[in-house]
Structure 1
Amino acid sequence: MPSTLVDSLLVLSACFIVYRLFSQKPSYPLPPGPKGWPVIGNVLDLPKSHSWRTFAKWGEQWGPIMSIKVFGTPFVIISDPEIADQLLAKTGSMYADRPTIQMALLTGWDRALSGARYNARFREYRKLIGRVIGTRGNMVKFYPVEDYQANMFLKRVFSDPEDPAAATRKTASAMVLHLTYGYKILEDQPDPFVTKVDFAMEQFSDIHRTGAYLVEIFPMLKYLPSWFPFAEFKRKAAECIGPCNEMADIPFTYVKEQLDKGEENNSFAADLLKDKSISSEKLTDLKWSAASFYAAGSDTTVSVVYSYMMAAVLYPEVQRKAQAEVDSVVGKDRLPSFQDRESLPYVEAVVKELYRWLPIVPLAVPHRAMQHNVYKGYFIPKDSLVFVNVWHFLHDPKVYQSPFIFNPERFLGPNPEPDPIDRGLFGYGRRICPGIHLADVSVWINVVKAIAGIEVIPAVDDNGEIKLPIPDTTDGIIVRPIPFDCIVKPRSEHLLQVLEEALRNGENVN
């Protein structure tokens, strides 16, 4: 054999050996978990709905960090906030990516911040949002809008006391449209912006449900024609494309037209659009950062305020105590404002308990491992999906006494229980929600106005029996309390007069 050929074979053999040595995975096991089937793994074990409950039970059996496999992809499930903090908040960008959500790609929702991959576009979105609402101090200039819309919330509730849930949804939409785009909704008829955005957000939550669509398990199915028997997801996706585009396009166009006419607009989008040297690519980033801003703010407020009404029905003593505190600090001749916040510790505790009791994002949007990692002797391969069970963190009986009982007192006194915001409520690390300060002030002002102005009591059935709600939520990535009946009314006739005066004083807020 010619020496050159021998030399070549030796070099190739050496390269092969080096490749095998260095490409081998570390000799560490995956985190423990239920044994799956060949090829498909644990796909048959995936819960159909409310997956956080199943994951919590698995955590009790397999430990605070466990795993399953779905067609070769490891799903790492974390049931301990310290582990979540160490992996997701203290490792830089290692877990800053998101998995590719096939339904998001098919519908256009991949352009929103929540599902964006960890890339230049993601960083640009964060920078744009952070520029306007990145700190508590940034939010101060939005206080007048927040206060006005929270007063309007009371008016909407009293205008339709049979459906306080509708008033809550309308207010959340009105508040975020006002803040994001400087748009004031129509009050005497269904508003076209609100209708479009709410519909789009319902679709957004649905398509992000863990394991809800077959294409997430078999990505190759996305190439099927929509008429194919297993392609219901394709038909669903086609229904979502238009609403997704309209949610971003229509209100953004409204702002551009206002600015072109020289009209005053002090909104989030207007602040960004005032830079006249914007490229078309940057304009797209602005539009979708604004749409992401809306998506982050609206559902949070709806869920928490509606949860307060449920809690007021189930725990009337909490409502009475919160009202007493507001009355003692604010009096009855005005409505509470942001200036009263530091003087209302019980109200603050109520808000924390609302976050904890029925968390708005019970199972955080999954992170994707961007490289191999070994954690406490367990191997977490690149491309693993990491799920954080925030619901379990906030209902762990070792941390929260009687966790299914609504009890704001747990956050008061010399030894308060942990603040839910510190246990992953708004995400981790570089994926923490950039609208956290917006959510904080929006939720607080609406809850305190509800406490000050509304009496919430149980509904009764046709036989005069009290109808108590079930403290549970819908399914999805962002959840709401399941619908329930209640009776709402103003706390007094004087309150209505105070409200009307406050609305007159704030009607010119832009």
Structure 2
Amino acid sequence: MFLTGAFPAISVATYCLLGVALTLCFIFYFRRPGKLPPGPWRLPLLGNAHQLPSKTPWTVFGQWAKTYGNIIHVDLFGQSIILVNSQKIAFDLMDKRSTNYSDRPIIPIAAMSQVGDTFALQSYNDSWRRQRKMIAQEFTAAGVSRFQSLQEREWRLQVKRILHNPDTIFSEIKLRAGVIAIRALYGYYVRTPNDPMLSNPIEVIREFSRLSTPQTGLAFRFLPRWTPGVTFFKEALDYERLHVAATVAPYEWCKTNLETPKVLVPNVCCDIWEKNSVLDQDGHKQVYNALSSALGGGLDSNASSALTFFMTMILHPEVQQKAQMELDTIIGFDRLPDINDQSRLPYVRAVLAETLRFMPPIPLCIPHALKEDDIYEGYFLPKGAWVIPNIWNMLRDPIVYSDPMTFNPDRYKGDDKAMEQVKNLVFGFGRRGCPGRLFAENSLFVLIATTLATCNISPGLDENGKQVLPNGNYTSGTISFPEPFKITINPRSTNTDALLAEVHELYE
């Protein structure tokens, strides 16, 4: 998570070097022109480092908005950070002024490794445009339709498995999300959670989340890599090796096995090759970095939303029953719902939208950065400032969403425009919006519809046989997950087993 973490152990010599660097930052900071947005009182040199929360920072930043307003300035070792708590301000800056707000900040771990070459973290430049265009062209409405059968089969298989063993729901959901993403991108079918094609990218995401914190990286950005006592630089080298392995291995596997039946088609990697028939070394690097960005975006975010869905169905059985009634009426009992049924199931679509609103998988958007100084509503926003939209707070705005802490799909009244408003926030802003949005929506829809059509979801039981409700808490991190909860899942009818019996793994 970008705003959590702690300092590694450092020596006295390191503190001296750090003090000199921070003093220069302090002098530079007070030479800035203009009135910065309000924010909490800060210390010399450290700024607000002592106030940045280590857990669920989105809730703390939402509380700060009540004191300082919806645009807040904080300082971390001389680095300006602009917190945006309002949907209007976010769109004013990152959509209407997207040319100036589409850059990424220089995150130290990204600058020290090839993860900084992926379009998710690249500066707003020609390489970024080329990579993003590759992925965006593959995930159009027509493009994602190629993968509908994959998504339907894998999420149905997931439902089949958790019906037999509900305790595996957390691991099974993460596995199926990985199977779908890697199969669609590279034509490779993951069979176990321990497959390096899946486990390495998951470890990369986990380590990036830890090493990308300002407390870990920004404090040492001016120090040489040989500085004694700083473990960050060694950890960055270890991370670089892991990232390269996770990025290059699936790409090289696809290239090596291209002419064999091992590579399953269609897949995005092969499609990009067909459209770019002549690729030099840099061209191949652009392709595998683009695919790496897409994989990073698809592994955990859908899994987070899927687990939020199961948690809220336990807590709101009335929503579950209403959605099941719609499915029974429209789909019936002789087949499973599929992605093409979306337009006929407005309440199930509302359940999806409310799942995203209730807890967006990335509560704090990956930071944007200003390319040039700007003025907004009289406030000076300096070049290079990090701009962090608090999506969680925007989706809990009581002016827009009455009783926002309650899970209530009826709030949309079947209005797709209102549902789109939620998705527009969840999937990012301006030119940095997620190009795989349609793919992600289809995946979540088929999971929700299949589960509700075939399962009754209820609280799990403790060792005494008493029901235990989820506590509703979430982990801190770039992608946030519900804390583990117990669950009971039962088939809705004798027909459920018959319908799911036809669902098989690709290689069973």
Q: TM-score with structure 1 length normalisation?
A: 0.88
| Residues 474 and 224 of structure 1: CA distance in aligned 2, closer, same or farther (over 3 Å) | farther
| Residues 196 and 264 of structure 1: CA distance in aligned 2, closer, same or farther (over 3 Å) | closer
Counterpart for residue 181 of structure 1: 186
* Distance in 1, Cα, partners of 2:306 & 2:224: 38
* Distance in 1, Cα, partners of 2:382 & 2:41: 18
- Report % sequence identity: 29
Q: What is the one-letter code of the residue matched to 1:322? A: A
* Distance in 2, Cα, partners of 1:169 & 1:310: 15
Counterpart for residue 79 of structure 1: 85
Alignment partner of 1:94: what SS? helix
- Rg comparison, structure with higher value: 1
Counterpart for residue 7 of structure 1: none
Counterpart for residue 273 of structure 1: 273
Alignment partner of 1:44: what SS? coil
Counterpart for residue 348 of structure 1: 349
Query: Is residue 258–residue 265 contact of structure 1 (8 Å, CA) maintained in 2?
Result: no
* Distance in 1, Cα, partners of 2:417 & 2:404: 14
Query: Is residue 356–residue 423 contact of structure 2 (8 Å, CA) maintained in 1?
Result: no
Counterpart for residue 91 of structure 1: 97
2:401 is the counterpart of 1:400: yes
| Residues 180 and 156 of structure 1: CA distance in aligned 2, closer, same or farther (over 3 Å) | farther
For residue 378 of structure 1, report the CA deviation from its aligned partner.
Answer: 0.9
Alignment partner of 1:163: what SS? helix
The residue correspondences of 1:370-449 to structure 2 (distance < 5 A) are: 370-412=371-413, 419-421=420-422, 424-449=425-450
Query: Is residue 362–residue 477 contact of structure 1 (8 Å, CA) maintained in 2?
Result: yes
| Residues 202 and 414 of structure 1: CA distance in aligned 2, closer, same or farther (over 3 Å) | closer
Q: What is the one-letter code of the residue matched to 2:142? A: G
* Distance in 1, Cα, partners of 2:448 & 2:281: 40
Counterpart for residue 202 of structure 1: 206
2:232 is the counterpart of 1:233: yes
For residue 323 of structure 1, report the CA deviation from its aligned partner.
Answer: 1.5
The residue correspondences of 1:19-98 to structure 2 (distance < 5 A) are: 28-98=34-104
Counterpart for residue 497 of structure 1: 498
Q: What is the one-letter code of the residue matched to 2:35? A: P
Query: Is residue 188–residue 264 contact of structure 2 (8 Å, CA) maintained in 1?
Result: no
Query: Is residue 88–residue 429 contact of structure 1 (8 Å, CA) maintained in 2?
Result: yes
* Distance in 1, Cα, partners of 2:255 & 2:336: 35
Alignment partner of 1:488: what SS? strand
Counterpart for residue 14 of structure 1: none
Counterpart for residue 220 of structure 1: 222
* Distance in 2, Cα, partners of 1:64 & 1:35: 16
For residue 417 of structure 1, report the CA deviation from its aligned partner.
Answer: 5.4
Query: Is residue 81–residue 423 contact of structure 1 (8 Å, CA) maintained in 2?
Result: no
* Distance in 2, Cα, partners of 1:261 & 1:460: 49
* Distance in 1, Cα, partners of 2:482 & 2:383: 36
Query: Is residue 458–residue 489 contact of structure 2 (8 Å, CA) maintained in 1?
Result: yes
Counterpart for residue 161 of structure 1: 166
The superposition leaves residues 3-52 of structure 1 with CA deviations (integer Å, 9 ceiling, x where unpaired) of: xxxxxxxxxxxxxxxxxxxxx99963111122322233222222223221
Range that drifts further, 242-251 or 197-206: 197-206
The superposition leaves residues 42-99 of structure 1 with CA deviations (integer Å, 9 ceiling, x where unpaired) of: 2222222322112111111011112122233221111111111011111132011111
Counterpart for residue 141 of structure 1: 146
* Distance in 2, Cα, partners of 1:102 & 1:63: 29
Query: Is residue 309–residue 448 contact of structure 2 (8 Å, CA) maintained in 1?
Result: yes
Which of 101, 104, 107 does residue 101 from structure 1 map onto? 107
* Distance in 2, Cα, partners of 1:415 & 1:61: 34
Counterpart for residue 12 of structure 2: none
Alignment partner of 2:258: what SS? helix
Counterpart for residue 193 of structure 1: 197
For residue 276 of structure 1, report the CA deviation from its aligned partner.
Answer: 3.2
Counterpart for residue 19 of structure 2: none
* Distance in 2, Cα, partners of 1:399 & 1:292: 32
* Distance in 2, Cα, partners of 1:105 & 1:28: 30
Q: TM-score with structure 2 length normalisation?
A: 0.88
* Structure 1: tracts of 5 or more residues without a match: 1-23
Q: What is the one-letter code of the residue matched to 2:150? A: V
| Residues 403 and 421 of structure 1: CA distance in aligned 2, closer, same or farther (over 3 Å) | closer
| Residues 224 and 421 of structure 1: CA distance in aligned 2, closer, same or farther (over 3 Å) | farther
The residue correspondences of 1:206-355 to structure 2 (distance < 5 A) are: 206-208=210-212, 210-211=213-214, 213-221=215-223, 223-224=225-226, 228-229=228-229, 231-261=230-260, 265-274=265-274, 275-355=276-356
Alignment partner of 1:43: what SS? coil
* Distance in 2, Cα, partners of 1:233 & 1:483: 30
Counterpart for residue 358 of structure 1: 359
| Residues 377 and 428 of structure 1: CA distance in aligned 2, closer, same or farther (over 3 Å) | same
Alignment partner of 2:427: what SS? coil
Alignment partner of 2:166: what SS? coil
Alignment partner of 2:98: what SS? coil
Range that drifts further, 122-131 or 98-107: 98-107
For residue 413 of structure 1, report the CA deviation from its aligned partner.
Answer: 5.2
For residue 400 of structure 1, report the CA deviation from its aligned partner.
Answer: 1.4
Alignment partner of 2:380: what SS? strand
* Distance in 2, Cα, partners of 1:124 & 1:413: 38
The superposition leaves residues 225-244 of structure 1 with CA deviations (integer Å, 9 ceiling, x where unpaired) of: 5xx43x23334334423331
For residue 389 of structure 1, report the CA deviation from its aligned partner.
Answer: 0.8
Query: Is residue 258–residue 264 contact of structure 1 (8 Å, CA) maintained in 2?
Result: no
* Distance in 1, Cα, partners of 2:436 & 2:336: 26
* Distance in 1, Cα, partners of 2:167 & 2:477: 26
For residue 489 of structure 1, report the CA deviation from its aligned partner.
Answer: 3.0
Counterpart for residue 463 of structure 1: 464
Q: What is the one-letter code of the residue matched to 2:187? A: G
* Distance in 1, Cα, partners of 2:85 & 2:309: 27
Q: What is the one-letter code of the residue matched to 1:403? A: P
Query: Is residue 97–residue 369 contact of structure 1 (8 Å, CA) maintained in 2?
Result: yes
* Distance in 2, Cα, partners of 1:299 & 1:280: 30
Range that drifts further, 296-305 or 159-168: 159-168
For residue 191 of structure 1, report the CA deviation from its aligned partner.
Answer: 3.3
The superposition leaves residues 431-481 of structure 1 with CA deviations (integer Å, 9 ceiling, x where unpaired) of: 111111221111111121121222221112123332111222211111111
Alignment partner of 1:351: what SS? helix
Q: What is the one-letter code of the residue matched to 1:202? A: R
Q: What is the one-letter code of the residue matched to 1:205? A: S
- For these two proteins, the number of residue pairs brought into alignment is 477
The superposition leaves residues 355-393 of structure 1 with CA deviations (integer Å, 9 ceiling, x where unpaired) of: 011111111111111111111111111111111111100
For residue 201 of structure 1, report the CA deviation from its aligned partner.
Answer: 2.5
Query: Is residue 146–residue 266 contact of structure 2 (8 Å, CA) maintained in 1?
Result: no
